[in-house]
Structure 1
Amino acid sequence: MPENRPAAGDPPTTPPPSATPPEPAAGRPPEPDAGTATPPERPKRRRGRTTALILAAAVLGVAGGAAAGYTVQAERKPTPLPALSQADLAYPEKSSATAKDAVGTHKADGDLRKLLLPRPSGYRDAPLATFEGGTLSDDGWMTVRSYIREFEEPPRMLEHLNSIGVRRIAAADWERGTRFVAIRLVQFGKDGVAGAVENTADRMYYLETDGTDRGEVRGSVDGRWAQMPVEREAGYLPVYHAQAAAFRGDVMVEVHIFDTKPVSNKDIRSFAERQVGRL
């Protein structure tokens, strides 16, 4: 967990978490034994704000974007979300030189924002936050308190991040027509590899249980991408969501793509692998 004074390259305005977490144990979290109690549930990601915007645009007959749906979304009440449930998480054993290198030797020092993928050609910076209840980054930095608003239960997510020593978060949100891309780089402090491993495992649990098609993110340890269930509602355009989770060293990577058309496996895999490759 970082000290109250930010290190060189840390965002100057990011407030420290509200509580000082215990120092995370070094190395990979232990695999739970069969028959033991399940680990604590972690909050799921909120539904994408872009999802509601695209749906609103479809109702209004607006082609190729979501801009006209902003006012409609502002008047909508939040959609109730299902309760969480989580089974035991597994941490597969890895002993190859590549795995050891990815786990232990890559530390992101300096300006974390410089490790974000550059904005792809044809995209622009998103004018609104990608996730319902969330906020846009401030010049590429996202505070912990802004990040936790992207989850269903922000207080519980804050407690979890505190416990594993979150340090800082870099973020990018882009759009192109009906496509929206969100990338989050979440870095952990002292002995940060353990925090990155645990947080990535939490995200991958939902990819494995909810995903309809899945694959590996090369260049990471056990990184995964997945196609999530399509959101369909009578009279609305379908909304497709693909996401990926991976880590390299002390940084966890999250990539999300939303669109009204199917997101190809190649697209989500390419975004994730290119982002991991920059770490």
Structure 2
Amino acid sequence: MEATEAVEPAQNTPAPVPDPGPEPPARPAPRRRRIARTVGLIAIAAVIGLVGGTAVGYGIQADREPTPLPPLNQPGLAYPKPLPKGQKQKRLPAAEDRQAKAQGDLRKLLLPKPAGAKEDEYAEDVDGWMTVDTFAAMFKNPGEALEDQLDLEIRRVAATSWITGEHKRTHIRLIQYRSSAVLGAQEFTEGQHAYLPDEDWADEDGTPIKGSTDGRSYVFPVDRKPGYLDLYEARAVFHRGDIAVEIFVTDTKKISGKEIRSLAERQLGRL
């Protein structure tokens, strides 16, 4: 019996490696960057198109002739209407010309003293006129008030005052501003209306004055102090044109709202 030779395994032979198969395909790049880039390009193109279109549109419009407006359906509405040939505009009589009245003697526009009234020896006016610095001295801060009045282009102040009964005093001031300062009288009036409703003054909103656009009358609460008679006060403030009006009534007896409004309406009628 033949002996079988043992076969020795080869030395340093590596173990077999299993076949992994075909390689997987490469991972596709994310699409987000491509989409964002596309949207950005579209937005830039839209802006450029809008700006370019606007510029071209303005250029085309600028080169065109202006389009005339259609004629009025009622051409006779032109104002002022021309007078017939040979006729001239009639001037208003002085009694109806408000501007002529205001440019004359301002004292003539003040309400006259009622019958039986006495002169007020403490009145600040002299012969119906009040100087601008005297008028400014009536305010809490005379220096500031004078500066404000000069800024408003104050022109002159006409004033009157009288006493009726035992203690009732009435003061009226017509403060006129230069025609160049159209709003001078209005601004002064608005300034008075701004503080008079405060509780330290009339403590009420006031009552409109008939016939005036911004006039209001105020009846103050009674002022009582030990050792003194009760003090009642009423005021009216309004303006007409370049003239501002202040009316003051003080008394030791109650003053009705009807009384101060009646004074204001009669003074307004003279303007």
Q: Do they superpose with TM above 0.5?
A: yes
The AA in structure 1 aligned to 2:103 is D
The AA in structure 2 aligned to 1:183 is I
Give the unaligned 5+ runs of structure 1. 1-104, 130-135
Distance in 1 of aligned mates of 2:195 and 2:254: 20
Pairing 1:206-225 to 2, within 5 Å after superposition: 206-209=195-198, 210-213=201-204, 214-225=206-217
Pairing 1:1-279 to 2, within 5 Å after superposition: 106-107=98-99, 108-129=102-123, 136-176=124-164, 177-209=166-198, 210-213=201-204, 214-279=206-271
Residues 136-158 of structure 1: CA deviation (Å, up to 9, x unaligned): 21210111011111111111000
Distance in 1 of aligned mates of 2:115 and 2:180: 37
What is the total number of aligned residue pairs between the two structures?
169
* 1:191 shift after superposition: 2.8
Q: What's the TM-score, normalizing by structure 2?
A: 0.60
* 1:193 shift after superposition: 3.2
Q: Secondary structure at the match of 2:158?
A: strand
* 1:106 shift after superposition: 4.5
Distance in 1 of aligned mates of 2:228 and 2:111: 32
* 1:273 shift after superposition: 1.1
Residues 212-251 of structure 1: CA deviation (Å, up to 9, x unaligned): 4521111211110001232111232110010010000100
Identity of aligned pairs, percent?
43
Q: Which structure would you say has the larger Rg? A: 2
The AA in structure 2 aligned to 1:117 is L
Q: 2:55 is matched with which residue? A: none
8 Å Cα contact 1:125-1:174 kept in structure 2: yes
Distance in 1 of aligned mates of 2:116 and 2:256: 18
8 Å Cα contact 1:106-1:248 kept in structure 2: no
8 Å Cα contact 2:179-2:242 kept in structure 1: no
Q: 2:12 is matched with which residue? A: none
Q: What's the TM-score, normalizing by structure 1?
A: 0.58
Distance in 1 of aligned mates of 2:127 and 2:168: 22
Q: Secondary structure at the match of 1:193?
A: coil
8 Å Cα contact 1:193-1:251 kept in structure 2: no
* 1:206 shift after superposition: 2.4
Distance in 2 of aligned mates of 1:169 and 1:186: 5
What value does the CA root-mean-square deviation take over the aligned residues? 1.5
Q: Secondary structure at the match of 2:146?
A: helix
The AA in structure 1 aligned to 2:185 is A
* 1:162 shift after superposition: 0.5
Distance in 1 of aligned mates of 2:246 and 2:182: 16
Q: 2:76 is matched with which residue? A: none
Runs of 4+ in 1 over 6 A off after TM superposition: none
Structure with bigger RCO (C-alpha 8 Å, 6+ apart): 1
Q: 1:36 is matched with which residue? A: none
8 Å Cα contact 1:207-1:225 kept in structure 2: no
Residues 174-224 of structure 1: CA deviation (Å, up to 9, x unaligned): 112110000000000033430000000111122222324521111211110
